[in-house]
Amino acid sequence: MGVLRKIRDTGRVAEPVPPRPEDEPPPTARQFGGSVQVRCVDAGSCNGCEIEIAAAFGPVYDAERYGARLVASPRHADVALVTGPVTRNMAGPLRRSVRLSMFLSESLIGSSRMKVNTLVSAR
């Protein structure tokens, strides 16, 4: 019973919620219409980045209140978030995934699409 009493007496321990931004959204945020769909791709990382991403979208920091949302399919994504160094085995699937998400996204303008394709094909 000592453990349960300790839990009851301690209560919830968490960091305070960060303040809501009061500034105007950046111009890039306006391009996405106030929300962005993020597709996370693990390209060979040590899972440290995935833990940070999960924490950012968790209940404490809640990135969804700022308009960012994680999606499971590249067809629904506006942005590809790639973690880790790209391995040889992951290079091809990553290129296809990014091209598919950028091709299907109607909210991106041509210059952004060119930057992404340049970054993907640079390897």
* % of the chain with per-residue pLDDT over 70: 76
Give the separation between CA 115 and CA 22, rounded to whole angstroms. 30
Average pLDDT, the chain: 77
For position 70, what pLDDT does the model report?
92
For position 54, what pLDDT does the model report?
92
Full-prediction pTM beyond 0.85? no
DSSP codes of every residue in 9-64: HH----PPPPPPP-SPPPHHHHHTTT-EEEEEEESS--SHHHHHHHHHTSTTT-GG
pLDDT tens digits for range 93-107: 888 887 776 665 544
Contact (CB, 8 A) for 64 and 104:
no
pLDDT tens digits for range 32-57: 777 888 888 888 889 999 999 999 99
Contact (CB, 8 A) for 41 and 28:
no
